[in-house]
Structure 1
Amino acid sequence: MTVAEPSLEALVDIGVNLGNKAFRDDLPAILQRALDAGVTRLIVTGTSEAETVHAQELCGQFAADFPGMLYSTCGVHPHDAKTFTTSTAATLHSLAAEPSVVAIGETGLDFNRNFSSPADQERAFEAQLELAAELQLPVFMHERDAHQRQFEILRQYRDHLADGVIHCFTGDRTALFNYLDLDLHIGITGWICDERRGQSLRTLVNSIPLERLMLETDAPYLLPRTLEQKPKNRRNEPAYLPWILAEVARCRDEQEADIARQTTLNACTFFRRIKAENGIPRS
């Protein structure tokens, strides 16, 4: 398999669905390829109670062979918001005490598919924002076709939150500047490598202050279309994060090394429980 050349700086993939069944059979090889490509830390996304537990189990499973590499989030995705109860909130509170957990989420609103009703989504979202405020953990957020309502809710909670990132941002200029006005971070995925769907993002990425930018693969989804040799299984993985870095640098007309250095610093500062390494300072 062809993977990226190692980046000039250690990279952090802030969103990877490592518990997905697509990764079931070759996780050690996937983690090694990530390291070989310069991706030294991965945030494994928790999207439900079960997936959060699984994410934490993966962190523990590979702690010896890949020390300091895996961390996780803790939350319920808006698709599963209908399952959110007071018991769920209590379980998440307990799970978030694990040292490998670095954020609450993936939470937010998704009015595109409405697998859960908007009312259920808002209820689960606010409960997780309250949990994040109580624990002073940053929030890892999803949003699709729900910007105005998500923005309204976030405005009510922002002063109480440690920090927040809109992961896999694909919105318009209004959404971007509204989120930036709330002093949120913006996560960029391989969407920017798609010459068809990513045109708007390619233009907007230059408007994101470098200190608010972070990188992610959202693997196994969103395989970068800029890959010269795409894997036969079409599976994205953390080793391809440098291709996202390269496209962001091209669109911003900046040096890859500068973006790598700053986005890694951003991630280490944002996810407060991540271990800084390789001489990377905290702000």
Structure 2
Amino acid sequence: MNNLPMNNLIDIGVNLMHRSFHEDRDQVVARAESSGVSPLIITGTSLRNSIEAARYASRMPGKCYATAGIHPHDAKSCNAETIPKLKELAVLPQVVAIGECGLDYNRDFSPRDIQRKWFASQLQLAQELNMPVFLHERDAFPDFAALLREHKPARAVVHCFTGNEKELMTYLDMGLYIGITGWICDERRGKHLKALVKRIPLDRLMIETDAPFLTPRDLPAKPADGRNEPAFLPHILQSVAGCIGKSVEETARATTETAKRFFGI
């Protein structure tokens, strides 16, 4: 894969501040770059995590960017200072989106009314700053879609899309972008994605690892510790290209250009 004539791929969703990367974070970035994956968009999932992501990205100009947001799991920890602090982060040059934010009714780590309140607040912040939004949704489609219709973000990507055809077409009709992960490589639960991904226009499709999670199950050489990392993004690209019937080169070029345009990088 490394020898293919393509633009660098952009991994739009890497949980690079996760504890599993504490020992070798710089090496993970270097391995990604040598695999043709650069820059990386580091996902912010809490206030502390977003601060760490922005700080790390500032050390890696051009190689890493960050998002700033509160994941629905952490919505219960939000208070009156949360949005002002996110706003301070959002104006930094290396911070390119608000999020990861949204609704998660699968695990319900935060009460649902609290999730909705802070999702709406982050959508309002993105509107105010005219920034894109990095979205999370699990088992919450009706409320999630209703809040997006109400607040109408200028640009938003549904990160790690794993939903059904109705949900996909609703998102596309709303003008949203779609992020596809190694879930599509899972023969147990990703079969439906292989057909659905064909419905996503190339100018709305982006790819991501969601590392260290969602390691592609069909990797030829699986990591001993099971940890996913952005160097594996070319494998996901190859799967997506095969599903949509496009060459790897065309798919790489399109998803990279879409990501550059979406995040303004």
Answer whether TM exceeds 0.5 for this pair. Answer: yes
Instruction: Return the match for 1:114 from 103, 108, 112.
Output: 108
Task: Provide the C-alpha distance between the structure 2 equivalents of 1:181 and 1:118, rounded to a whole number of angstroms.
Answer: 26
Displacement of 1:9 after TM fit? 2.3
* 1:79 equivalent in structure 2: 73
CA distance in 2, matches of 1:54, 1:109: 23
* Post-superposition offset of 1:162: 2.2
SS in structure 1 at match of 2:221: coil
Q: Name the structure 2 match of 1:93.
A: 87
* Counterpart in the other structure of 2:46: 48
| Offset, 1:5 | 3.0
Residue in structure 2 matching 1:102, options 86, 96, 103: 96
Identity %: 50
Partner secondary structure for residue 107 of structure 1 = strand
Q: CA deviation at 1:110?
A: 0.4
- Contact between 1:13 and 1:39, CA under 8 Å: does it hold in 2? yes
Does 1:269 find its partner at 2:249? Answer: no
Following TM superposition, by how much is the alpha carbon of 1:6 offset from its aligned partner in structure 2, in angstroms? 4.8
CA distance in 2: counterparts of 1:253 and 1:27, whole angstroms:
35
Alignment of 1:190-269 (within 5 A): 190-269=182-261
Give 2:13's aligned residue.
15
Secondary structure at the residue paired with 1:140?
A: strand
The reply to whether residue 167 of structure 1 matches residue 159 of structure 2 is yes
1:86 counterpart SS class: coil
Question: 1:6 touches 1:37 (CA, 8 Å); kept in 2?
Answer: no
Counterpart of 1:110 in structure 2: which amino acid?
D
RMSD over aligned Cα atoms: 1.0
Q: Could you tell me how far apart the structure 1 residues matched to 2:242 and 2:257 are?
A: 20
Aligned length: 264
- TM-score with structure 1 length normalisation? 0.91
Q: Secondary structure of 1:177's partner?
A: helix
How many Å apart are 1:57 and its aligned residue? 1.4
Asked if residue 30 in structure 1 is aligned to residue 24 in structure 2, the reply is: no
Instruction: Verify: 1:176 aligned to 2:174, yes or no.
Output: no
Once residues 258 and 157 of structure 1 are traced to their aligned partners in structure 2, the CA distance between those partners, rounded to angstroms, is: 34
Shift of 1:32: 1.2
Aligned partner of 2:117 among 111, 123, 126: 123
Deviation string 1:177-232 (CA, Å, 9 cap, x unpaired) is 01001100000000000011101111100111111000000000001112101010
Provide structure 1 residue ranges, at least 5 long, that are not aligned to the other structure: 275-283
What one-letter code is carried by the residue in structure 1 that aligns with 2:64?
L
Listed as ranges, the gaps of 5+ residues in structure 2 are none
Question: Within 2, Cα distance between the matches of 1:41 and 1:162?
Answer: 23
